[in-house]
Amino acid sequence: MGIILGSGSITGQRRYADEVTAFDVTLAIAGTAEDLTVPPTGKTGRIVSIVNEGPGKVFLAFDGTAALTDLALAKGDVYSEADISIVTKVSFIGDTGKTPRVRGVLWSN
């Protein structure tokens, strides 16, 4: 079942998100960026919800490789964004010396 963003009568402004990709990832190597999730082939990520379970901060980047200067989430922080366009990936990296666990959902169409 898809998530409906807006009314079907609004043309070209809101879209249906018809595929859900859940993720639960622990950073494998401290200080090294890796992909958190990718949209399904041929689809674009439209809604993302992410929680950082720690330890430490996690830094996120959309459609690029995460760096320690990107969007930061402290342990326990949640990030949610709608009307986003993620084409290639969501990348993350932890604080130096930390291997955080991050989980969430990416809705795509």
- 7, pLDDT greater than 90: no
Query: In the prediction, which pLDDT does 9 show?
Result: 44
Cross-strand bridge partners of residue 19: 108
48, amino acid identity: V
pTM of the model: 0.81
Distance CA 107, CA 55 (A): 26
CB neighbour list of residue 26: distance below 8 Å, 6 or more residues apart: 99, 100, 101, 102
Name the residue type at position 31: G
What is the CATH code of the structural domain delimited by 3-108?
A: 2.60.120.770
Phi-psi region of 106 (alpha: psi -120 to 50; beta: other; left: phi over 0): beta
Average pLDDT estimate for 53-74: 94
- Domain ranges for the chain, please list them: 3-108
pLDDT over 80 at 6, yes or no: no
Q: Considering the chain, what percentage of its residues have pLDDT values greater than 90? A: 73
For residue 15, the model assigns a pLDDT of: 57
> Alpha helix (H) ranges present in the chain?
none
